[in-house]
Structure 1
Amino acid sequence: MSAEKMMSAIDLRDFLRASGWSLLQEGLRHRLYVLSNPSYPKRQLVFPMDTNAPDYEEAINRVLHKFGELTNQTVASLISAVSNLRDDVLKLRVFFEGNDRTLPLPFASTLVTNAEKMLKSGACTVLQPRTSHPKLSLTEAVQFVEHARFGQTEEGSFILNFSFPLNAMDTQGKLPLDDDIHVPFVRQVTLNLEKAISELVEAIEADTLDALVDGLKTSQMPLISANLCDALAGMHDEQVNNAIDLTFNWSSLRQHPRAMRSLPLRIQSDYFSRIEEVHRALKAVDEDEEDTFIGTVEKLEGVMGSDGKRSGGVVLALLLPEGEIVRARTMLDADDYAKAGEAHMRNGSYVRVTGKLRQGRQPRQFVDMTSFEVLSGGATAGN
């Protein structure tokens, strides 16, 4: 079934009305939507009200092509806009030099995890503005992510689509982002993210990060949190050396209160280290986590010693108490390295490690280890 056939006539009608077209009542008697626009006095857009009409698909396709010609938009972009009529949409594009047809799987997983962390941090800031959130587990923030949808990828390197139904939540935040106090909570979150990331990028480019951080620390309603910076910094992979573009598309049923941004927010590859500096400056309690963690062995980086045994670095995927998985690098002696090799080769095998997990970009450093043991398959945190 084509996109035109699946498209709701009501959604197309509402999209066109939000774009400045007016509905002519006389067409309704003939089961037709007829719309006109004073900017195009000799044009009308006409399509059936009933999706089972014999010419429905042809009529919708004709309207989309005509509207696209008038507004210089592609039919594909219009179909996407109509399908997301009631959603705010965030497009996150990863781009880099070289072979852009593949991404390292651990980085792809980390990218999605940090995108979720970014969305939760935006929701937490709207609910309780502060420079550092101890946990991103506020009920409304979790619900915001649960209501979000992960859309199809697009052409143009790696593009992740996240859509947020505008009226999914009956919640009000505390952060003043618009003169209208009745702004839906979902729009408050997307507005916060756009404004916060924009201010962060502008401060990096203008070399005013120190002033930005000082202002955030004294503000009663800070837009930017350490958690947001941590999430953004986690979207960079040193080997890939990628950059990130973020594009916000607002539901046409509720216009953006400011002028629409024509270009995406670009975080260049050399910006991420500066964002990490802001994360550290804003973090309220930048203490290392000393605990016992359950995880898996993701990568072996050791070297052969003169005794014929391997030792050295390994990369672990550790489960944190709040449910987040982070990558961490640690150094192992020959005995523990042999255990790590065993766990790496055995499907479903977990390890339990005790030590200190340092703050910072992934892979984080895991130091002062006091124990390293391999668990049987199926072990979970807390066992």
Structure 2
Amino acid sequence: MNREIYLTSLGDISPIHLSSYLEQMGWVKDGSIGSKAVVWHRAEKENYAFEVIQPVDIYIRGFTQKIHEAITSISEFEERNPSLVLDDILNFYTDLVKIRVVHNDVEDGSIPLADGVLLIEKSKDLLIASTLSTFKKKKFFSGSRSDDEKNFISKLRLGQTEVGSFIVSLISPITVKSNTEEEIDSTSLTRSVTTNLAKSLSSISSAIEQYSEDQDIFHFEEVVSEGVSANLCDALVGLSGLSKSRSFEVSIKLAGVELDKKNIITHHSFKPSQLPAIESASEYYKGNYVINGYTAFGLVTKMKRIPGDEFGEVTISSKVNDSDKNVTVQLELDDYWDAVHAHESESYVKCSGNLIVTPKTATLAEATRFGVSDNLDLFKPKPNK
């Protein structure tokens, strides 16, 4: 924080913010100076000599100077730069999320206009995604939002951008109590959203690492309960810029007014090399994905063949990720007629291949090992994920 910003920000400190900070940090009231100020000392005997004079009215003469003197006194005790103390007091009632993009084209503190607009838009989307999954865990959020969700989102604020590659700050005021899936009791809704964001970022990072090892798309299924969604993934991809070439970091600074009950991870980093996996996760949550080496197993429910063709198409009612799907598969004639007979006798069939899934269809490509059996227990393959 440069000197000009520091001096301007002094006037933004309210007496209640300053007194709340002092009380939280272990200072105790020790008298007053008429109706103008409150005197604070340290509770420890060895530190009693440290004193802060806190003005109680923003309209008293020299208010800004008195705030500066109070912050200077605090910084001497804490052995920290006054600007850092000022920043903590300003944000004492807010959780702060900072998004820093890293690339050689932003090192001077500027960013291409189109990317800057996208960065702010996707920063907002990141917090909105975290808000929505705090209220309810889902793979993909669309459509209308509840009044509680809209009310919280409307209170989000954009802070001043900073030099440091390029940094966008998002401010979440702590004002109301939570009644969500994430936290109940005395936790504020803001802290519930912040905690959910931290958990979801940690979870998607772990899922990306697992997915990169075996290309198993179902690693992303396991983290939906941690607040990961297609909306969150799309926001993360957008933070890397239009060319998807920038690394970025998401840092969380918690409001001093509320304790961190979950001991959350407050710093998360992402690289361009991770974006394809995040995009795959987003497509999976939207119902678009491929399962390599899938075995469709079930009853034949539909058959179709054009006379003269050397193949036919059948539909198998099969389980895909614990959901019933009608899997379409193209078979050579011998296998096709076996499938027709299986349909007539209500026998089970199986067939392996690469399953291509969309929200409305499921197609088994490169089909192999087609078979029919009346013995369900012997014939049933191991369940797919």
Q: Residue 226 of structure 1 contacts residue 280 of structure 1 at CA under 8 Å; is this kept in 2?
A: yes
Matched residue, 1:16: 22
Superposed CA RMSD: 3.2
Distance 1:111 1:139, change over 3 A: farther
Matched residue, 1:106: 114
Determine if the alignment matches structure 1 residue 281 to structure 2 residue 284. Answer: yes
Matched residue, 2:332: none
Matched residue, 2:48: 41
Q: Residue 211 of structure 2 contacts residue 219 of structure 2 at CA under 8 Å; is this kept in 1?
A: no
Query: Which of 120, 132, 136 is the aligned partner of 1:124?
Result: 132
Per-residue Cα deviation, 1:43-69 (whole angstroms, up to 9, x for no partner): 121232233334433332122123223
Which structure 2 residues correspond to residues 28-177 of structure 1 after superposition, within 5 A? 29=34, 31-38=36-43, 40-98=47-105, 100-101=107-108, 102-135=110-143, 137-167=145-175, 169=176, 172-175=179-182, 177=183
* Alpha-carbon distance in 2 for matches of 1:234, 1:269: 11
Per-residue Cα deviation, 1:12-43 (whole angstroms, up to 9, x for no partner): 1111212222222x226564222222353331
Matched residue, 1:233: 237
Per-residue Cα deviation, 1:188-247 (whole angstroms, up to 9, x for no partner): 111101111122224445767879964663678342112211111121136472111111
* Alpha-carbon distance in 2 for matches of 1:57, 1:280: 53
Q: Residue 204 of structure 2 contacts residue 223 of structure 2 at CA under 8 Å; is this kept in 1?
A: no
Q: Residue 88 of structure 1 contacts residue 165 of structure 1 at CA under 8 Å; is this kept in 2?
A: yes
Q: CA deviation at 1:134?
A: 3.6
Q: Residue 51 of structure 2 contacts residue 73 of structure 2 at CA under 8 Å; is this kept in 1?
A: no
The amino acid that maps onto 2:37 is L
Q: CA deviation at 1:249?
A: 1.4
TM-score (norm 2): 0.64
Q: Residue 131 of structure 1 contacts residue 284 of structure 1 at CA under 8 Å; is this kept in 2?
A: no
Aligned residues: 283
Q: CA deviation at 1:96?
A: 0.9
Distance 1:228 1:19, change over 3 A: same
Stretch moving more, 250-259 or 128-137: 128-137
Q: Residue 97 of structure 2 contacts residue 169 of structure 2 at CA under 8 Å; is this kept in 1?
A: yes
Q: Residue 240 of structure 2 contacts residue 247 of structure 2 at CA under 8 Å; is this kept in 1?
A: yes
Distance 1:23 1:207, change over 3 A: farther
Query: Which of 5, 9, 18 is the aligned partner of 1:3?
Result: 9
Q: What secondary structure does 2:169 align onto?
A: strand
Q: Residue 237 of structure 2 contacts residue 244 of structure 2 at CA under 8 Å; is this kept in 1?
A: no
Determine if the alignment matches structure 1 residue 249 to structure 2 residue 253. Answer: yes
Q: Residue 98 of structure 2 contacts residue 167 of structure 2 at CA under 8 Å; is this kept in 1?
A: yes
Q: CA deviation at 1:7?
A: 2.1
Q: Residue 131 of structure 1 contacts residue 216 of structure 1 at CA under 8 Å; is this kept in 2?
A: no
* Alpha-carbon distance in 2 for matches of 1:213, 1:57: 57
The amino acid that maps onto 2:179 is Q
* Alpha-carbon distance in 2 for matches of 1:72, 1:206: 43
Q: Residue 101 of structure 2 contacts residue 240 of structure 2 at CA under 8 Å; is this kept in 1?
A: no
Which structure 2 residues correspond to residues 304-343 of structure 1 after superposition, within 5 A? none
Determine if the alignment matches structure 1 residue 182 to structure 2 residue 186. Answer: yes
* Alpha-carbon distance in 1 for matches of 2:217, 2:76: 46
TM-score (norm 1): 0.64
Matched residue, 2:267: 264
* Alpha-carbon distance in 2 for matches of 1:134, 1:99: 33
Consecutive unaligned residues of structure 1, counting only runs of 5 or more, are 288-357, 360-383
Distance 1:159 1:81, change over 3 A: same
Q: CA deviation at 1:73?
A: 3.1
Distance 1:220 1:280, change over 3 A: closer
Distance 1:213 1:81, change over 3 A: farther
Q: CA deviation at 1:163?
A: 0.8
* Alpha-carbon distance in 2 for matches of 1:3, 1:220: 40
